[in-house]
């Protein structure tokens, strides 16, 4: 199984994101670098498929519609990642792309659409258990289960 290689379309090709991914050894191309500016979305997807690259975009409506059309015509694409419209900070977008790449292969991405918001990491850190239990007019405190206080 091979690693995902990304292609960032015109909307997502922030220089900082490209540099952040490349500095971590990720193979990434951009529309501008590939000389693909001002071509249609379907041509972008076709180029990415030919190059074996998962396309990353903010353009959810057009690219999801294109995905559905390709699948219905039994045609293929290398995968599409749709990022949130509110434009995540570069660091968060990079982390989500890296997380996706660590859990999916290039082969498993074929003909698949992934929404980057599903790759948010929830950092759940256990916290010490603290509680008070109020029952009727009595309060039982966790540090002394035998003590009670009656509200005045």
Name the residue range of residue 37's domain.
6-119
> What CA dihedral angle connects 94, 40, 54 and 117, to 10 degrees?
50
Edge-to-edge strand list for the sheet holding 113-115: 28-30, 6-8, 54-57, 80-82, 113-115
Residue 149 within any structural domain of the chain: no
**Is residue 108 a part of any domain in this protein?**
yes
**Residue 65 lies inside a defined structural domain of this protein:** yes
Q: What is the pTM of this model?
A: 0.76
Contact by Cβ (8 Å): 134, 124: no
State the total domains in the chain: 1
Residue 93 within a domain: yes
Q: Looking at residues 78-89, what average pLDDT do you find?
A: 85
Q: Is the pLDDT score of 41 beyond 90?
A: yes
Residue 126 maps to a domain: no
- Maximum pairwise Cα distance, the chain: 78
């Amino acid at each position: 199984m091979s690693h995902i290689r990304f292609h960032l379309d015109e909307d997502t090709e922030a220089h900082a994101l490209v540099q952040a991914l490349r500095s971590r050894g990720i193979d990434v191309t951009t529309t501008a670098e590939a000389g693909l500016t001002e071509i249609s979305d379907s041509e972008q997807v076709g180029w990415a498929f030919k190059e074996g690259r998962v396309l990353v975009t903010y353009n959810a409506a057009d690219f999801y519609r294109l995905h559905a059309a390709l699948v219905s015509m039994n045609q293929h694409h290398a995968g599409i990642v749709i990022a949130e419209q509110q434009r995540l900070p570069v660091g968060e977008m990079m982390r989500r792309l890296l997380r996706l790449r660590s859990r999916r292969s290039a082969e498993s991405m074929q003909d698949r659409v992934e929404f980057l918001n599903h790759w948010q990491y929830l950092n759940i850190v256990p916290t010490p258990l603290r509680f008070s239990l109020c029952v009727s007019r009595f309060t039982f405190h966790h540090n002394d289960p035998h003590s009670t206080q009656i509200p005045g």
